[in-house]
C-alpha cells in the first residue's frame, strides 16, 4: 500500500507561544523567545540565555496526579497532543485507537527530574528521593502518557537520536500511515531540559552562544538551547478528505542517513544525501522546493556545512531558494526540534508565509543563501523541506507539499 498522507492537526508548546496560534504569530512577526533563564540559576555558566517555555500551566491539560508522575517534557507533549487532536477534530474511538500510532522524539528524557533526585542523593546526602524518578526520567514517558490519556493502543514508541529525534519519529509514523499499518498517527517530539547539570554539560562543549542564536550570520557564536513540544496528526489524505477535515498540507517524503564521519562535526555529504533521498521519496524535483526550514543551529560548523549541502543538492536553484532557521526564535529544543520545525514548515505552506531567520546581522560568504533575514515573507510555495542534522551524524529530512498541489 502506498497512500498519500495529510497533516490535519497541530499542537505546540514553545518558548514563543504556548499554543499553535501564539507560536505561528511569533514566527510570522520574527519574534524571538530567547531570554535569561528564569527557572534555575546560571551561576558558573558561560551562557545565561535559553528559549524557555514561560507561563505554562500543566494543569490545563493534565490532572494533578499526572503532573506528579511525569517530567516537564511529558507535560508539554500531552498539552500539544490535546491541542493537535482537538485541532484535527479527531474522534479517537476505541477502534481507531487500535489503529493509531504515537511516535515521539525525546532525546534525553526527564533530565530535570533526574538532576533533582541526583542532587538530593549526592549533594544533600539524602537517603531517599522521589519514588517516581524512573517513570519521570524515561524518555518514553510522554508517548506512554499520551497513549493512556487518549486510549491509543496501536504502535507507540519514542525515538532518541539527539537533534533528529522528532524528524525520525515523524518519518517513521509517516511510513506507517503511508504503508497502511495504521490509520492515523500522533507524531512529533518533546524536550524539557532546565537542569543545571545538563546545561553545564552543554557549556563545557563550547557550542552554546553567550549572546543569542544567529543562524547563518557572520557573527554567530553558537546554538541556544530550547524546550517545548509539538505534535502533528497524520492521516491518509483520502480519509481526511472523506471526513471533511481541514488539511494543512501533505507530508510527502522522508530521507534519512548517517554521515559516518565524526561524533559531533557535520559532513556536507550526509546532509545532502538525506535531502536528496527525501526529494526522491516524495517524487519531487529540486526545483519544486520553494522553502527549506534549515537545521540552522547557529554554530559556526553547522550553518556553513548545511549551506554546502544545500548547494550540492539544489545547484543553481539554491540562488532562488529561501532557507530560514526558526531555531533563531524557538531555540534548539533537541528531541522536540524537528517537531517544532515541522509545525513551522507546515504552517508556512498553509499560510503562504515563510518565517524568517531572526537576529541576523551580517552576511557570511560561507552561508550565501537567501536566509529570509529577520522579516517573514509572503509567498506561496509548492513544496518544502525540513532538515535535522544531529550529533553523531544522524540526518533526517522531511518533505511537505502545499495543499494547493493536492
Q: Which residue among 69, 181, 264, 374 contacts other proteins (CB under 8 A)?
A: 69
**Interface with other proteins includes 219 (CB under 8 A)?**
no
Q: Which is nearer to other proteins, 65 or 125 (CB)?
A: 65
> Which sequence positions are flagged as catalytic?
163, 295, 332
**Shortest gap between Cβ of 380 and other proteins (angstroms)?**
49
**Interface with other proteins includes 125 (CB under 8 A)?**
no
Only segment of 123-131, 216-224, 264-272, 396-404 that touches other proteins (CB under 8 A): 123-131
| Residues 314 to 373 in contact with other proteins, rule: CB under 8 A | none
Residue 358 to residue 329: CA distance in whole angstroms: 6
Only segment of 45-53, 61-69, 333-341, 389-397 that touches other proteins (CB under 8 A): 61-69
- Per the structure block, which three cell numbers stand in for 52? 524557555
Alpha helices, H only, 235-377: 237-242, 268-282, 300-314, 327-330, 337-351
* 400 within 8 A of 384, measured Cβ to Cβ: yes
* 115 within 8 A of 71, measured Cβ to Cβ: no
Query: What is the total residue count of the chain?
Result: 406
**Interface with other proteins includes 64 (CB under 8 A)?**
yes
**Interface with other proteins includes 57 (CB under 8 A)?**
no
**Shortest gap between Cβ of 74 and other proteins (angstroms)?**
15
Residue 273 to residue 389: CA distance in whole angstroms: 11
CA-based Rg of the chain, rounded to a whole angstrom? 20
**Interface with other proteins includes 94 (CB under 8 A)?**
no
**Interface with other proteins includes 127 (CB under 8 A)?**
yes
Q: Which is nearer to other proteins, 129 or 198 (CB)?
A: 129
If one counts every other C-beta atom within 10 angstroms of the C-beta of residue 121, the result is 14
Only segment of 72-80, 125-133, 144-152, 232-240 that touches other proteins (CB under 8 A): 125-133
**Interface with other proteins includes 2 (CB under 8 A)?**
no
| Residues 263 to 292 in contact with other proteins, rule: CB under 8 A | none
* 225 within 8 A of 331, measured Cβ to Cβ: yes
- Per the structure block, which three cell numbers stand in for 54? 514561560
Q: Which residue among 2, 43, 65, 95 contacts other proteins (CB under 8 A)?
A: 65
Residue 229 to residue 58: CA distance in whole angstroms: 13
Only segment of 16-24, 60-68, 291-299, 325-333 that touches other proteins (CB under 8 A): 60-68
- Per the structure block, which three cell numbers stand in for 105? 522524539
- Per the structure block, which three cell numbers stand in for 84? 493537535
* 399 within 8 A of 385, measured Cβ to Cβ: yes
**Interface with other proteins includes 130 (CB under 8 A)?**
yes
- Per the structure block, which three cell numbers stand in for 218? 557572520
Longest Cα separation, the chain: 64
Q: Which is nearer to other proteins, 134 or 379 (CB)?
A: 134
**Interface with other proteins includes 132 (CB under 8 A)?**
yes
Using CB under 8 A, list all residues that contact other proteins: 63-65, 68-69, 127-128, 130-132, 135
Amino acid at each position: 500500500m502506498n497512500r498519500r498522507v495529510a497533516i490535519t492537526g497541530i499542537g505546540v508548546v514553545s518558548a514563543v507561544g504556548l499554543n499553535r496560534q501564539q507560536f505561528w504569530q511569533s514566527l510570522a512577526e520574527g519574534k524571538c523567545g530567547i531570554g535569561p533563564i528564569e527557572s534555575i540559576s546560571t551561576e558558573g555558566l558561560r551562557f545565561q540565555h535559553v528559549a524557555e517555555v514561560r507561563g505554562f500551566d500543566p494543569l490545563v491539560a493534565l490532572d494533578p496526579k499526572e503532573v506528579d508522575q511525569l517530567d516537564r517534557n511529558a507535560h508539554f507533549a500531552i498539552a500539544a497532543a490535546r491541542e493537535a487532536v482537538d485541532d484535527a477534530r479527531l474522534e479517537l474511538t476505541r477502534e481507531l485507537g487500535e489503529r493509531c500510532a504515537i511516535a515521539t522524539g525525546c532525546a534525553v528524557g526527564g533530565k530535570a527530574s533526574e538532576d533533582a533526585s541526583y542532587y538530593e542523593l549526592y549533594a544533600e546526602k539524602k537517603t531517599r528521593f522521589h519514588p517516581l524518578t524512573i517513570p519521570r526520567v524515561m524518555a518514553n514517558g510522554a508517548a506512554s502518557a499520551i497513549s493512556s490519556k487518549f486510549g491509543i493502543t496501536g504502535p507507540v514508541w519514542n525515538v532518541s537520536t539527539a537533534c533528529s529525534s522528532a524528524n525520525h519519529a515523524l518519518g517513521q509514523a509517516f511510513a506507517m500511515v503511508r504503508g497502511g499499518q495504521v490509520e492515523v498517527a500522533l507524531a512529533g517530539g518533546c524536550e524539557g531540559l532546565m537542569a543545571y547539570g545538563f546545561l553545564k554539560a552543554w557549556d563545557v562543549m563550547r557550542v552554546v552562544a553567550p549572546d543569542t542564536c544567529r543562524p547563518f550570520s557572520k557573527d554567530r557564536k553558537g546554538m541556544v538551547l530550547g524546550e517545548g513540544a509539538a505534535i502533528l496528526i497524520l492521516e491518509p489524505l483520502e480519509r481526511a478528505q472523506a471526513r471533511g477535515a481541514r488539511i494543512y498540507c501533505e507530508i510527502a517524503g522522508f530521507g534519512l542517513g548517517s554521515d559516518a564521519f565524526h561524533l559531533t562535526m557535520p559532513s556536507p555529504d550526509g546532509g545532502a544525501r538525506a535531502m536528496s533521498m527525501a526529494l526522491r521519496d516524495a517524487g519531487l524535483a529540486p526545483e519544486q522546493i520553494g522553502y527549506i526550514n534549515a537545521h540552522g543551529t547557529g554554530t559556526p560548523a553547522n550553518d556553513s556545512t548545511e549551506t554546502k549541502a544545500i548547494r550540492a543538492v539544489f545547484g543553481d536553484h539554491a540562488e532562488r531558494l529561501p532557507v530560514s532557521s526558526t531555531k533563531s526564535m524557538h531555540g534548539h529544543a533537541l528531541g522536540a526540534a524537528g517537531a517544532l520545525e515541522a509545525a513551522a514548515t507546515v504552517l508556512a505552506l498553509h499560510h503562504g508565509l515563510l518565517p524568517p531567520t531572526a537576529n541576523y546581522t551580517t552576511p557570511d560568504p560561507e552561508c550565501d543563501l537567501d536566509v529570509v533575514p529577520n522579516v517573514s515573507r509572503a509567498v506561496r510555495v509548492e513544496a518544502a523541506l525540513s532538515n535535522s542534522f544531529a550529533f553523531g551524524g544522524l540526518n533526517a529530512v522531511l518533505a511537505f507539499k502545499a495543499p494547493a498541489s493536492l
